[in-house]
Amino acid sequence: MYAEGVAVMAGRIRDEDIALVRERTAIADVISEVVTLKSAGGGNLKGLCPFHDEKSPSFNVSPARNVFYCFGCGVGGDAIKFLMDAEHLSFVESVERLAARAGIQLRYVEDDRSAPRPRPQQGQRQRLVAAHAAAVDFYRAQLTTAGARPAREFLAGRGFDRSAAERYGCGFAPDGWDLLTKHLRQQGFTHDELVTAGLSRPARSGSLIDRFRRRLMWPIRDITGDVIGFGARKLFDDDDGPKYLNTPETPIYKKSHVLYGIDQAKREIAKQGKVVVVEGYTDVMACHLADVPTAVATCGTAFGGDHISVLRRVLFDSDERAGEIIFTFDGDAAGQKAALRAFEDDQRFVGRTFIAVSPDNMDPCELRLAKGDLAVRDLVARREPLVDFALRHVIGRFDLDTVDGRVEAMRRAAPLVAKIKDREKRPEYVRKLAGDLGMEIEPVQRAVLNAAHGPQAGGAAPAAPARPGRATPAVDSPRSMVEREALKLALQEPVLAGPMFDAVEVTDYQHPVHVAVRAAVAAAGGVSTATGGAVWIERVRDACDDLAGQALIGELAVEPLRIDGEPDPRYVSITMARLQWSSVTGRIRDLKSKIQRVNPVSNKDEYFALFGELLSLEQHARALREQAAGGL
């Protein structure tokens, strides 16, 4: 749950504008920029959760109600909440992002809500992204100047023409100490914003100077397409800086999470179920231009766990649809070391991992320049399983003509075989390793088994952490299932449920979390006042004081109803009758027990009063039973 009254500077967004943003935002479009979604039946979609690691998709999206919920970690909400969690935005920043996307002009009011006010300063992320967008335009314009000739020659020398440079937003940081800084200050960006964005840095004099000078520039975009940083390549011999210089860590640029080219590659990655991981910006460009559109690269850091999480969500890498992850590394020692490090991460993918190494030890950019686009495509097509490459590399370091060499190679290679996540393939790799070593199968098999049970044994990816406070209704209880179905109708089909739902009191619910959700529905104005969708669901969530209840609301908002086809008034009537019948029969049992404890002689009036109430309840129960005929 989040507060909609979060202020930016002195004002807040008008409530009716927030509601309009929710109404006009298609949540599936927003989420599909980060997560590959597939049909889950009943009009719902599913994918791998962006908030925790999982191998089977438990992240559900309901386009009809504009909400999402993960059954694995319990995170849920509307498109605003998704952006807050996925992009680490404030409530206001998320609303502003979605409003801009939908073409909605937001209106702001003073804290006392007395009058409209001009648009305040944007949230921090929007300001930093805007500064980067302005920097992209500046650098691109500089690429056409006389001073940028070395940058243009660098691109041309690697086979990239003007259209390729424009497609990837390439630019040039000019030979001046503060040209970009002055340009951005003139556009209204503050000293602190430029420093925070990593575009400028303080000089010894206290003034600001540009972070990048005399370099070829690549804008680095996040998965949604926003520019969040830059990669800068050295061009001049007298530049004593590193060959590549990247934006430092900022509130919007986290290099361990960023993959260059993901914004352009994500749709093809999802479509093909394949991703090609290369080592540099020019390699990504070369692959894309050579019709390998699934290529991405890390940005100034080694490929790691956070990158894997990003790719798995885009790949839809799950038990249902295992993807292909293809690494391209140089054939030199550094490239081989990187490949072995990638094999260590193999366990975190459900899909198969491969490696593609050029016979001439050329990277994709060099290969395209030397032999053309077809050679790049062939490089990817000739991939080999990463485990085969790793085993060959390990045993290749030993003299297999000696006993000591064979035994030591076996000891080093056995843990790799033990880490193969597909257990059915391990016996085949044991036989293959034995053959490559020229040894009997039994000692190799023992070495692999010992490695599998040792401290370095490979295993499944760690289970997702349990979310504290998650609602755990007794799903195996028929009564609980009916209560759950009634609440789903209230959240998903409020117009249909209407007065029939509201007529059943909170006292007819038994499970404590269900009671909390039913009370929240009443506090939100009741189902009869609702029109449905994300606004209604958030209204109920905001009215719920119980943390477990808040989580359950998100879950029930996307959980399919227990009916084939579309629900109708008869289904609502049956569900509510069954709910009441369970409650009434419980009261009947309590009443019968109480009657047995009353003396009909000494407490005649109380006895007959209780007996009369019992007859009335039994009659009501019979009516409900007839109404509920047909079953769930």
Q: Contact at 8 Å (CB) between 123 and 8?
A: yes
What rounded mean pLDDT belongs to the chain? 83
pLDDT of residue 204: 84
pLDDT of residue 337: 65
Angle at which helix 281-289 crosses helix 373-381, to 10 degrees, equals 100
pLDDT of residue 282: 96
CA angle (111 as vertex; 105, 117 as ends), nearest 5:
35
| Residue 162: φ, ψ to 5° | -65, -40
Share of residues in the chain with pLDDT > 70 (%): 85
Interval 177-207: pLDDT, tens:
999 999 999 999 999 999 999 999 998 888 8
pLDDT of residue 11: 54
pLDDT of residue 91: 82
| Residue 203: φ, ψ to 5° | -90, 170
Which pTM was predicted?
0.64
Interval 572-615: pLDDT, tens:
888 888 888 777 777 777 777 777 777 777 777 777 777 777 77
Distance, in Å, from the CA atom of 67 to the CA atom of 551, rounded to the nearest integer, reads 13
Sign of CA dihedral 597, 602, 605, 611: positive
pLDDT of residue 304: 78
The residues with which 245 forms a beta bridge, in sequence order, are 232
pLDDT of residue 4: 47
Pick the range with the lowest mean pLDDT from 156-170, 178-192, 296-310, 516-530.
296-310
- 377: nearest Cα among 324, 311, 326, 302: 326
Interval 236-267: pLDDT, tens:
999 988 999 999 999 889 888 899 999 999 88
| pLDDT for 298 beyond 70 | yes
Q: For residue 86, what is the enclosing H or E element?
A: helix 79-87
pLDDT of residue 454: 60
Interval 466-512: pLDDT, tens:
333 333 334 457 888 889 999 999 999 998 888 888 888 888 888 88
Interval 507-548: pLDDT, tens:
888 888 899 999 999 999 998 888 788 889 888 988 988 767
| Confidence category of residue 465, pLDDT binned at 50, 70, 90 | very low
- Is the model more confident about 190 or about 336? 190
Fill in the DSSP letter of residue 12: E
| Confidence category of residue 9, pLDDT binned at 50, 70, 90 | very low
| Confidence category of residue 352, pLDDT binned at 50, 70, 90 | confident
| Overall average pLDDT of the 329-349 stretch | 65
pLDDT of residue 467: 37
| pLDDT for 618 beyond 70 | yes
pLDDT of residue 210: 95
Distance, in Å, from the CA atom of 91 to the CA atom of 488, rounded to the nearest integer, reads 26
Share of residues in the chain with pLDDT > 90 (%): 34
For 383-419, b/e burial (b = at least 16 CB within 10 A) is bebbbebbbebbbeebeeeeeeebebbbeebbbbbbb
Single-letter amino acid, residue 544: C
Q: Contact at 8 Å (CB) between 312 and 349?
A: yes
| Overall average pLDDT of the 68-72 stretch | 84
Interval 10-44: pLDDT, tens:
357 888 888 899 889 999 999 988 888 998 888 89
- Helix ranges restricted to H, 345-467: 364-371, 373-381, 386-395, 403-418, 426-437, 441-452
**What would the two tokens of residue 257 be?**
């999470």
| Confidence category of residue 133, pLDDT binned at 50, 70, 90 | very high
